[in-house]
Amino acid sequence: MMRCVFLLVSVLICRAAALYDSRDDVVELTDSNFRNRVQNSDEVWIVEFFAPWCGHCKNLAPEYKKAARALKGVVKIGAIDADQHKSIGGQYGIRGFPTIKIFIPGNSKPIEYQGARTADGLVDAALRELKNVVNKRLGRGSSSSGSSGTGGSENDKDVVQLTAENFKKLVLDSKDLWLVEFFAPWCGHCKNLAPHWAKAATQLRGQVKLGAVDATVYQELAQEYGVRGYPTIKYFPAGPKDRSSAEEYNGGRTADDIVAWASEKALENAPPPEVIQLTNEKLLIDACTDNQLCVVAVLPHILDCQSECRNNFITDLKSLAEKFKKQKWGWLWSEAMAQPKLEEALEIGGFGYPALAVVNSRKMKYSLMRGSFSFDGISEFLREVSFGRGRSAPVAGAKLPKVEPIQAWDGKDGKLEEPEDIDLSDVSLEDDEPNPAKRTEL
C-alpha cells in the first residue's frame, strides 16, 4: 500500500515539474527518445528546452500548449526538461531557459526561434519552415529571388534595401546591430547566398538587422567600405558608429551560420544584467528563480564604508556582471545586517564584510566565497562556479530566506544619529552633599 502511495505521489510530482503532461499535445522528449523522435525525423519539429523552476518557462507553457493544439497533425511540438536531460541541452549549447529551436528534416543544425513567445508567433514560424521544406522538395528552393537585395521576393521582406542615400540614416545613425551584404546581381555566390540571407533576416528580426547593397549601382559606397569581391558582408556593432566601425564578417554562409554568428554578437552587445539592491522579497525571487544562479554580495554597513567606498564595490560588481553576462545570472547586493535571515541562510558574516555567495535556487545550494573580495578574486571564484567546481552547501531551511522590506540606499554617506537635545533649564541640580554649615566637626 505504501509503495502504491509513493508511486502515485512520484507521478504527480513529476507531472507538476514537467509543465506538460499526456493531456497536452506537446510531446515529452528525453535523452532516450530525442534521436529517434526528432533528429531522425522527416517532419518539422519545434522543441522547447525548459527547466521546471524557470518562471519564464511557466509563463510560456499556456501559449506553447495552444500552439501545439493548432499545429496538431501539421508540425510536431515537443518539450525537453534540459535541467534533467543535460546531455541534450549541452549538445545544442543551451544557456538559458526557455530556449526554442526548430528542427528541419535534412538540416544538421536546428534554427534558433527568435520570435514572439506567443501561440501566433510559434505557429507562423512553424508554417513558414514547413512551406520552405515543401518548396525544397518540389525543387523550388526557399526563395524565388535570383539575387540578394533586389527587393522583388516575398521571402526577402526582412532584408533592408540600402542605398547611398539611406545608408547613413539607417545604419550609421541607428543604435541597432547590422549585417550588410554588398552584392552584384550577376554574381553566382550572391545568388546562392540570397535565400540564406533572407531566411536569417527573418529569424533575426527584432534582434539584428540585415541589409543589402547593390554594389554595381552604388559603387562609391562599396569602395568606401573596401569591397573588392562579391558577396562581401560587413558587421556594424550596436550603438553609435561611423565608417570605421565596420568589421569583416567571418562566419559561414548558411542561414544557420549567419544566425548563430549574429546571435553571438548580439549577446556580446547586450547590456549586462543590473546589479540590484535587495530591498524586498520579490527581487530575490526574480533574480534567483528566473536564472540558473544568482550572485549575492553583502557590503559593509554605510557607517563602516561610506558612499565612495560602497560605490567602488558596486562598480566592481557591475564590471563582473558585464564579464559574465553570457551566463545570464541574477545579481544582488545588500548592506551588512540589513537582511539577517539571508545572511544566516548563506552563513555570511562569519568572515566579516564584504562577502559574496552564489545561490542555485533549483537545488537550494550555495557556494560561499572565502577569498579576496576584489575584481580578480571574485572573477576567479565565479569562473570556478561556472564550471561546477568548488564547495557548496544546502541553503538553510531548503528555501529562499525571508527578506525584510527596506528603503533603498539614497547614495549618500552615512551619519551617526545625534543625541536629542534635552532642555535642562528646569532641572534642579541640588548638591547631594550635606550643607557644609551644618557639618559637625569630629
Q: How does pLDDT run across 321-336, given as a tens digit for each residue?
A: 999 988 889 999 999 9
- Stretch 260-274: mean pLDDT, rounded? 87
Tell which wins on pLDDT, 376 or 121. 376
One-letter amino acid identity for 365? K
pLDDT-based confidence at residue 65 (cuts at 50, 70, 90): very high
Instruction: Give the CB-side neighbour count of residue 4, counting CA atoms within 13 A.
Output: 1
One-letter amino acid identity for 242? D
pLDDT at 143: 41
User: Which of 331, 317, 314 has the alpha carbon at shortest distance from 278?
Assistant: 331
The residues, any chain, with a CB within 8 Å of residue 270's CB and separated by 6 or more, are: 325
pLDDT at 50: 95
Tell which wins on pLDDT, 61 or 239. 61
The grid coordinates of residue 129 equal: 519552415
pLDDT at 380: 95
The burial class, CB within 10 Å (0-12 / 13-18 / 19+), for 283 is middle
**Secondary-structure class of domain 154-269 per CATH:** alpha beta
Instruction: Check whether 424 has a pLDDT greater than 50.
Output: yes
> What whole-number percentage of the chain has pLDDT above 90?
64
In CATH, the number for domain 275-398 is 3.40.30.10
Tell which wins on pLDDT, 389 or 417. 389
**What mean pLDDT value characterizes the chain?**
86
The grid coordinates of residue 313 equal: 564595490
- Stretch 289-305: mean pLDDT, rounded? 94
Every domain of the chain and the residues it spans? 18-137, 154-269, 275-398
- Stretch 200-218: mean pLDDT, rounded? 92
Sheet holding 209-214, edge to edge: 159-162, 209-214, 178-183, 232-236, 247-248
- Stretch 253-281: mean pLDDT, rounded? 90
The residues pairing with 299 across neighbouring beta strands, listed in sequence order, are 335
Tell which wins on pLDDT, 133 or 108. 133
pLDDT tens string 405-422:
999 999 999 988 776 666
The residues, any chain, with a CB within 8 Å of residue 227's CB and separated by 6 or more, are: 182, 215
pLDDT-based confidence at residue 18 (cuts at 50, 70, 90): low
Measure the CA angle with vertex 404, ends 401 and 409; round to 5°.
120
pLDDT at 1: 44
The grid coordinates of residue 144 equal: 524565388
The residues, any chain, with a CB within 8 Å of residue 226's CB and separated by 6 or more, are: none
Same fold, 154-269 and 275-398: yes
Q: What architecture is the 18-137 domain classified under in CATH?
A: 3-Layer(aba) Sandwich (3.40)
The residues, any chain, with a CB within 8 Å of residue 22's CB and separated by 6 or more, are: none
The grid coordinates of residue 303 equal: 557607517
pLDDT at 45: 96
The grid coordinates of residue 117 equal: 513567445
Task: Return the minimum-mean-pLDDT range out of 71-85, 140-154, 228-242, 313-327.
Answer: 140-154
Instruction: Check whether 138 has a pLDDT greater than 70.
Output: yes
Residues assigned a catalytic role: 54, 57, 187, 190
The residues, any chain, with a CB within 8 Å of residue 230's CB and separated by 6 or more, are: 182, 183, 184, 187, 189, 190, 215
Task: Return the minimum-mean-pLDDT range out of 148-152, 181-185, 437-441.
Answer: 148-152
